[in-house]
């Protein structure tokens, strides 16, 4: 019984290993403009394709149309993309008009429902095919003939077989074409290479480093990579600058009121707008009541010397007295000079 159980486990594990993979057309990657977005687009179209009986795989109907409803975490199990990658990829696909996203109730909560824009998608696919034809004509100078292609030494039927292989068709090539020829046809396709994907990964990692440095320099606290990615994902969703939100929260934290949870406060600034930083304005002093002013004047007068006020008559008399004394002084000075002579 134990051996049978182990054998059963081995078979199931091998089946899982063999059947869990991403089947992504290069064309979808090129149309989406990104490896992750192209993988997501291929998977969305897989769900909208009918099953073997010709019936829809979908069960969710909204507005008399089928919609694909999944939790963000479900996409990891299907095509190995994170929540953050799904948010960015679905947003890019929507901007290009390839899909439509709407929020509907899903179970006990809400979830993002997705539906392809088939007309836009068909136009993009036709444009893609036309561009391939132009490249074949311009670069390879392949004529529309059934004669063998001299540069590759293969016939038109073989090219069709190679077309199936290079564009993801699982049908085996029966024309005896070697694997060394396949890259020649695949080279006609354009798209995101592994190098481009690594560059995108490096760009995302750099954003995480910048966010961490900004947070730690302002708040003097550690921020994990997961927390930084969480802030970046949320700010991308709401199309705001995450660095500005961190600075705004720090200003509110230091000038207005200390935040109990800094992470929660930053997220609140991202989703609900900047924190309001109240400006401290100088309050204009109100005039004191008359009774208070009189008491103040009395106290002030007891400690300071009072200034005597004179009437106009007193002032005129004082001036006249000054002039009289000046005249007397002048007369005395003249008398002294005469005696000296």
pLDDT at 158: 56
**Exposure on the CB side of residue 256, measured as CA atoms within 13 A:** 13
Q: What is the pLDDT of residues 65-87, one digit of tens each?
A: 999 988 888 889 888 999 899 99
pLDDT at 39: 93
Handedness of CA 182, 29, 188, 133 (dihedral sign): positive
Q: What is the pTM of this model?
A: 0.40
Residues above pLDDT 70, as percent of the chain: 68
Per-chain mean pLDDT for the chain: 77
Q: What is the mean pLDDT of residues 238-266?
A: 90
pLDDT at 45: 92
pLDDT at 68: 93
Q: Which residues are bridge partners to 146 per DSSP?
A: none
Sheet holding 65-69, edge to edge: 60-62, 65-69, 109-116, 99-106
CB 142 within 8 A of CB 136: yes
Res. 1 pLDDT band, cuts 50 70 90 = very low
Res. 299 pLDDT band, cuts 50 70 90 = low
pLDDT at 188: 44
Segment 137-141 long-range contacts (CB within 8 Å, at least 24 positions apart): 139/188, 140/188
Cα distance between the two ends of the chain: 158
CB 102 within 8 A of CB 113: yes
Q: How many residues does the chain have?
A: 341
CATH code matching the domain that covers 2-120, chosen among 1.10.10, 2.60.40, 3.30.70, 1.10.150: 1.10.10
Helices (H), 100-224: 118-135, 156-166, 182-186, 194-219
In the chain, domain spans? 2-120, 143-191, 194-272
Q: What is the mean pLDDT of residues 142-165?
A: 52
pLDDT at 247: 93
pLDDT at 289: 73
pLDDT at 172: 46
Q: What is the mean pLDDT of residues 269-294?
A: 71
- Contact residues for 251 (Cβ-Cβ < 8 A; gap 6+): 275, 277
Helix axes 242-255, 225-238, angle to 10 degrees: 110
Three-state DSSP class for 223? coil
pLDDT at 340: 59
Give the span between the Cα atoms of 300 and 148, in whole angstroms. Answer: 116
pLDDT at 211: 92
Q: Which residues are bridge partners to 62 per DSSP?
A: 65
Give the span between the Cα atoms of 98 and 115, in whole angstroms. Answer: 9
pLDDT at 17: 65
List C-alpha distances in Å: 81 to 69, 171, 195, 224: 16, 28, 18, 20
Q: Which residue has the higher pLDDT, 172 or 301?
A: 301
Three-state DSSP class for 64? coil
Give the span between the Cα atoms of 277 and 49, in whole angstroms. Answer: 53
Residue with tokens 């909560």, as numbered in its chain: 109
pLDDT at 154: 53
From the centroid of its chain, how far is CA 190?
28
């Amino acid at each position: 019984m134990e051996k049978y159980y182990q054998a059963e486990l081995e078979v199931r594990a091998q089946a899982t290993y063999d059947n869990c993979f991403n089947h992504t057309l290069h064309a979808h990657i090129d149309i989406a403009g990104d490896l992750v977005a192209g993988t997501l687009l291929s998977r969305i179209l897989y769900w909208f394709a009918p099953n073997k009986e010709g019936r829809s795989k979908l069960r969710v109907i909204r507005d008399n149309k089928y919609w694909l409803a999944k939790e963000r975490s479900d996409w990891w199990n299907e095509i190995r993309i994170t929540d953050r990658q799904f948010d960015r990829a679905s947003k890019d696909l929507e901007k290009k008009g390839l899909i439509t996203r709407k929020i509907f109730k899903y179970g006990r909560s809400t979830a993002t429902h997705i539906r392809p824009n088939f007309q836009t998608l068909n136009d993009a696919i036709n444009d893609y095919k036309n561009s391939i034809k132009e490249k074949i004509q311009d670069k390879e100078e392949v004529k529309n003939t059934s004669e063998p292609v001299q540069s590759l030494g293969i016939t038109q039927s073989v090219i069709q077989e190679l077309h199936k292989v290079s564009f993801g068709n699982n049908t085996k090539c029966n024309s005896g074409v070697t694997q060394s020829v396949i890259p020649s046809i695949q080279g006609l396709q354009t798209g995101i290479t592994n190098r481009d994907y690594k560059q995108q990964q490096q760009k995302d990692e750099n954003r995480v480093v910048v966010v961490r440095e900004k947070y730690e320099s302002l708040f003097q606290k550690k921020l994990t990579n997961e927390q930084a990615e969480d802030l970046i994902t949320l700010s991308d969703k709401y199309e705001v600058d995450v660095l500005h939100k961190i600075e705004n929260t720090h200003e509110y934290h230091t000038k207005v009121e200390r935040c109990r949870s800094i992470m929660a406060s930053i997220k609140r600034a991202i989703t609900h707008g900047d924190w309001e930083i109240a400006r401290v304005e100088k309050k204009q002093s109100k005039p004191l009541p008359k009774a208070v002013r009189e008491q103040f004047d009395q106290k002030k007068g007891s400690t300071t010397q009072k200034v005597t006020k004179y009437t106009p008559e007193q002032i005129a008399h004082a001036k006249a007295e000054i002039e009289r004394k000046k005249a007397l002084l002048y007369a005395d000075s003249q008398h002294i000079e005469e005696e000296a002579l």
